[in-house]
Every structure is written in C-alpha cells, then in structure tokens.
Chain A
Amino acid sequence: MSEKHIDELSGVETTGHSWDGIRELNNPMPRWWVWTFYACIVWALAYTVVYPSWPGLTTNVKGYFGWSSRGQLATELTEAQATKAVYLEKIAATPVADILKDEELNRFATAGGAAAFKVNCTPCHGSGAAGGNGYPNLNDDDWMWGGSIDEIYTTITHGVRYTDDAETHASEMPVFGDILSPEEVKQVAAYVYSLSGGAPSDAALVEPGKALFADNCASCHGEDAKGLKDFGAPNLTDAIWLRVDGSEAGIAGQVTKPTHGVMPAWTARLGDTTVKELAVFVHSLGGGQ
C-alpha cells in the first residue's frame, strides 16, 4: 500500500486493494468503536493476570484467582457428594427390602447400583448383566442362591466360595468321577438331560440314571431335581444352563469333574451402602422375586 487512492465519487480513501476493478472504501470507524477495541485489549491483558495464562518452562502463570479447571471439578464433585450424602445416609439406615418400598430411594439406589455395577461387576457378568458361560445371567428368573432382594443382598455381601469371608456361600459339588464309574456318569447325564425335555442318545440309560440320581444327587439338587438354593445347587429341569452347554456330554463332564464359580465378598471392598444399591439394581433387572 504505497500509494493512497481516493475514490472520486465519495472522496473517501480506499484500502488500496482492487478486485476486478472494485475498490473498498476505507471509511473511518466511529470513535466509540475504536475505544471498544482498546477496551477489549485492556480486558484481555487483565484476563491474563487473573486467570492462568503465560506458559513457563516447567509450569505456567497461575493467575490471581488461582482458578483451574481441575479445581473447579473438585468443587463440583464435593457439591455433588454433599447432595448425594442425604440419600446415601438414608440407604445406609434402611434395610434393603424397605428401599424398594420408597420410590425416591429406590430410584436413587437403582441408579447408584447401575453405576457401581458398570465399574465392579461387568468384567464377569457383562455390561448388560447377561453373564456368559460360567457367569450367571442376572436378568433371568433362575437364581442359584435365591432371587429375593435379601438373598441377592446376602450373596453380594459375602460372595460365593470366597475363602476370606466366613459366611460366604461355600458348598461345592463333589467330584463324582471319583465316586461313580464312567458308565454310571453316562447314565446320570442321560437322566438329567431328559429332565429338561432332551432326548438322550440311548433311552435305556435313563432308568438306571434316575436311581443313581436319587442316591447321589437328590440330597443337594432335590428329589425333583429343581435345585436347592441353600447349597447353590441349580435347577436341572429348566432351560437354563450355567456351567455347561446343556448337551449330554457337557453334563457328563460337569458330573465327572465339576467346576465352580467364585465371587468376591463385596462389602469389604465397596461398603454396605453400595452393596445395597447393587442388590436393588440387580433385583430390578427383571428376575427379582
């Protein structure tokens, strides 16, 4: 912009740029506009003084207010905790079955339980609580250790076959491979398979299998094979299989050399309040009794 160019028509100086012969007038701004601009500069400088700004070699200028986004988060978290504390105290003081009766508390506990579930339980039970082979699905109505709110609460509190907790659900299925002959195992498996509507490979195996079941298995799984929750012995007549794929061979394998699930006792880790929330959440999934 070496030369000044004056527009003939308006007598106003142009910016000196020309686009296809069109020039832009350089009309002066109003004074207040200029002052607003200066005020913004002053504001910006002041901003760097009171808020964190200039970078240094190891740290930065912290600013007069000492504000940081981390600090703000901490404040907000503290406030959130304070709001939640009211409910948490109420949950701590309420027996778990009564939480279900209080609509507001129930909603809070379900949401809290869902959050705790995501963090602590999903590795085994899955994010939708649908479980997997060996890990029970918590949505269905099949409960090995009982599906009432109190039973769920007890199970989460003390865990399953968790040696550090004296009150844990401890019972295990014996290794029947040491007790029964392979032929007998086959017979029991055929019988158990038939219980849930399956057609065994050899129908002749079912009768002796039934007798063997009455002698060896009924004490835990019940005469009718519908399971006994005191022992965590599953119902063998229903459509749900946990540790095996539900085939005859799979059943035989579990009888010969059983595998067992283990779950930690959670109260020691999460505290009673969170465990109550977890119980309420699991109970709400659809199978709760």
Chain B
Amino acid sequence: MTTNIPSGGGSTPAGNSDQPLYEAKRRVFAKKVEGRFRNFKWLILAVTMAVYFVTPWLRWDRGEYAPNQGVLLDLASRRFYFFPIEIWPQEFYYVAGLLVMAGFGLFLITSAVGRAWCGYTCPQTVWVDLFIAVERFFQGDRNARMKLDSSPWSFDKIWRIGATHLTWLLISVATGMGWIFYFGNAPSVFVKFFTGELPFVAYGTVMVLTFTTYAFGGLMREQVCIYMCPWPRIQAAMLDEQSLVVTYNDWRGEPRTRGAKKAAAAGLPVGDCVDCNACVAVCPMGIDIREGQQLGCITCALCIDACDSVMDKIGKERGLIAYATLEEYDSNMNLATSNRTTSIQPEKVRNADGSFSDKIRHFDWRIIFRPRTLLYIGAWSAVGLAMLFLLFTRERLDVNVLHDRNPQYVMESDGSIRNGYTVRILNMMPQPRTIRLSIDGLPNAVMKINGYPENKGQVYDIPVKPDEATALKVFVTLPKADVSSQAEEMRFIVEDPENGERRVYKAVFNGPGVKK
C-alpha cells in the first residue's frame, strides 16, 4: 500500500497514469477497543447527548409573563432565554462575544492538545460513535461485520442490516426532533408534532436533520471529515511543535517485526511494533497512524488504547502510540537515527538491558502553559469577564428616541414651537411596570403624549407591558419667549421609581432659526 497523504483515507496505485475519475469508498469496519481513552469517549458521548436531548426539557420559572423553559430561542417574538438570562435582539453582541470565546477556545485547545474537538466532542464524531455501537450490536464486531458484508443476501443478513438502519433512522428522527424543542415549549411541541399542528418549517427541519444525521452518521462517516469538513484544514494550520497529537513513535517501533523473537535471535534489529495491525483495525477513519500525522486522523486516540493493550500483552512499556509533541518526537527520532543520518537503530534509544535510555524526552505537561496558550487563555478570559461584567451591570430598561424630521418643527398659533418625537420605552423585564418618562434641559417646555390626558408638565407615568417595547408619540412644546435660534439640547429620561433603574437619551429641539 502506498501512502496518499492528501486524501488521508484513500490510496492510489503508484505510477498509475490512468487516473480514475473517482475513488471508490473504502469500507471501514472499526474494531471494538477498550481502554482509558475509550472510556473517556463513552463519558463524553453520554454527557453531550444528555446535554443535547435534555436541555430543552429543563424548566425555569420566570413568572407569569415569560415562558418557563430553561433554554428557548423564541424566534417569533425574537427573545432568547438562557436560564436567568434573557437576551433581546439588540443584545446579540453577547452571542458575538460567545463566538469570539469559541474562537479563542478553539485556538487554545488546538495549540495545546491538537484536534481534541474532532476526536471527542464534534457531533459528527459523537454520532458516528453511537452509530458504530448500534452497528456492532446488531452485526457483531469487525470480523463478523466484514464477513456479513461479503456474504450473499440471506434472512440473517437482511434482518441484521435492516435492524441497524432502522435504529439509525430512529436515532436520526430523535435527533431532528431534539432540535426543534429548543424553539418552542418542548412539551407542547412534542404533542403537536404528532397531532400535525406544527408549522411546516418544523417538520422540514426534522426531515433535514433526520436525513443529515442518517447520511452523515450512518453512511458517510469519515468521508464527512475528509472531504466535506473545513475544520481539519483550519485545525492543522493551528498546530505547532508543542501541540499534542496522536503519534506513532517509530523511533521505538521500527523496524516493525512480526516474529520478534526469531528476528532478535537472528541478530536483526527489532522495534517494539509487532505489526499486529490492531491500531488500524480500531481506527474509525480507516487509516494507519504509522504512516505519520495525516489529515484523516481525528485524534480520537482509540489506536492508543489498542496499542497499549498490545504492549501490555507482550510485556512492553505502553506508549508506542501516544499523545506526543512534534518537538519531543523529533528529538527522540534524532536520537534513534543519529540525527537522521541512519535508519532507525533500536539500540540507540535503549539501554543494554532493553529499558529505554534516559536521553529520551517525555511529555512535560508544563509545555501546555507556554506564551502562546497563555495568550489565548488571557484573551479568552478577558472576553468572558467583560461579558459577565456587562451581563451583571446591564439595565433592563432602555429608551430610544426618533426625532421627527418632516416637519422639523411646528409653529403653534400662539407662536410657541413644537417638536415631535417617537419615544420607544423598552421594558426588558418579564413584569409589567410603570415607567416615569420626563424631559430635562428645557425648563419651560411642556410634554404632550398621544393617548394620554394632557398634563401640561414634563413628567408622565407610563404603564408598560412586560417584556415589550412601548412606542409613544411625544410632542414637546417650547413657549415663544424661550425659542432661540440654536438647536437646543435636551434629554429624555426614563426611570423605574421602584428599583431606580434610569436611562437617559440625549435629544435635540429644533426651532425656526435652525439651519435645515
């Protein structure tokens, strides 16, 4: 087999000048594996699935005027609820902030531990893991699946494959439904889903997500990572010499030898790799890590588990395949090859008794805290803290003022000048309130509000609805004697007398002398 690095999962016969138009998909039958990374991955699978499916069902009491769903994206009324936090559309910078944090978080994780996102938490990885488990449940492990795959159609084959696909489909439908619960009251969405009362877009979403889950998780799997996803390209560019990546330590593995004892007896150099192919068999991407770092590797670390158990069995030290940085790998490689002047010499890295030489570099966890990652940690925390600060100090009351421009002012019959404004009071609390609206800066002006009894004053008490913006048509009239040729500065002030919340809007009052 020749390596074909760019496509990761594929191989092309060397020197074949008649390039095929397309490459047939190579089937991957990932073998079951046990070990610490496998256990960790089961844990992450359980947690991420639980978060995805359970979250919309959590309740959170917000009083009678707001929904009681913990996490809710209310698109119709444009509100986003996250437990005690409610976000209005104009506060979407919080989401932008979260995206910035996600970006820095990704830089941090990738520069520290490589493609951890790909290997553990990416939905594609998690769902494929689940789908492989289903496949294994109905069809058995790698060898049984390979046999079933090549066997002719029979009742046994039909029911096993049928049951696999049916279960996949059920999981896919559940996944699609899980999504729409975030956009409405989950219990009633659940009921309405079956009574056919949901809007078409809900069913369409479930259909699309069912299809993508089934196709990506069941049928395409590693193809998604290799051909469709931009992530591997971006993540690869963010790795450096100190990033941890799943590495086959060929400085101790090579020359790989099947009959190690016989070869050793014959005086041949023998590496630790017994060429059992366990690492290849368990790989969900169908690649051979021993060919070196490659785009196809999502660093799920299952090959580490596989190889570790082989090493345990043959009584060798673990870590032939391990998380390692390029720096330590290079240093050990130079040791084994006398700075790349020879092929790998097993004795160069070992003492006479077969234990490893002291000159071997091992992973030092302190490398994780290097200037680059510290910078990312700093930036990530700075954005996070800034957002928390904003969140805890933000007002739940706001005011927007739109000054009438046509006409800019109106002269009344007594010669006084009137300006019109549209004042929007934003009550972002899920309770009705009485907000005091006043003007300031024009001592003799009076305010008049359409729909409110005239009080010839500067202060009005406005009842506002819960969690809504209230728009008012406000007229401010300045007596003739006070009218100057300047545009006068004034302020609209909204206050909640009960809790002291107060917002001020600087506005302008126009008169006849003002240039248009």
Contacts and interface: CB of A to CB of B under 8 A. Distances in A.
Interface of A: 4, 6, 10-13, 25-34, 103, 106, 126-130, 137, 139-142, 235, 238-240, 284, 286-287
Contacts of B5: 10
27 contacts: A10-B2, A10-B12, A11-B2, A12-B4, A12-B6, A12-B12, A13-B19, A25-B6, A27-B10, A28-B20, A28-B21, A30-B23, A30-B227, A31-B22, A33-B227, A34-B22, A103-B451, A106-B451, A127-B406, A130-B407, A139-B407, A141-B412, A142-B413, A235-B413, A240-B413, A286-B420, A286-B448
A129 B414 CA distance: 20
Given A26-B19, A28-B22, A30-B227, A10 B4 contact: yes
Interface centre among B3, B7, B410, B475 (most CB of A within 10 A): B410
A34 B21 contact: yes
A102 to B, nearest CB: 11
A270 B22 CA distance: 68
A13 B17 contact: yes
Contacts of B396: none
Given A238-B413, A239-B413, A31 B15 contact: no
A28 B473 contact: no
B492 to A, nearest CB: 17
B412 A140 contact: yes
Nearest to B215: A32
Q: Interface residues of B toward A: which range?
A: 35 or more
Given A11-B14, A239-B414, 19 more contacts: A6-B17, A10-B4, A10-B5, A10-B6, A10-B12, A11-B2, A11-B12, A30-B227, A126-B406, A128-B407, A129-B407, A130-B410, A139-B418, A140-B412, A141-B412, A235-B413, A240-B412, A286-B410, A286-B448
A27 B226 CA distance: 13
Interface in B209-238: 220, 223, 227
A13 B17 CA distance: 6
A108 to B, nearest CB: 14
Contacts of A12: 4, 6, 12, 19
Question: Which secondary structure dominates where chain B touches chain A?
Answer: loop
A140 B25 contact: no
Nearest to B23: A28
Contacts of A126: 406-407
Given A31-B23, A34-B22, A286 B475 contact: yes
Contacts of A103: 451
B16 interface: yes
A27 B411 contact: no
Nearest first, the 10 closest Cβ-Cβ pairs linking A and B are: A128-B406, A11-B14, A238-B413, A130-B407, A239-B415, A139-B410, A28-B23, A13-B19, A142-B413, A34-B22
A59 B15 CA distance: 55
A12 B12 CA distance: 7
B13 A11 contact: yes
Contacts of A31: 22-25
B450 interface: yes
Contacts of B406: 126-128, 130
B26 to A, nearest CB: 10
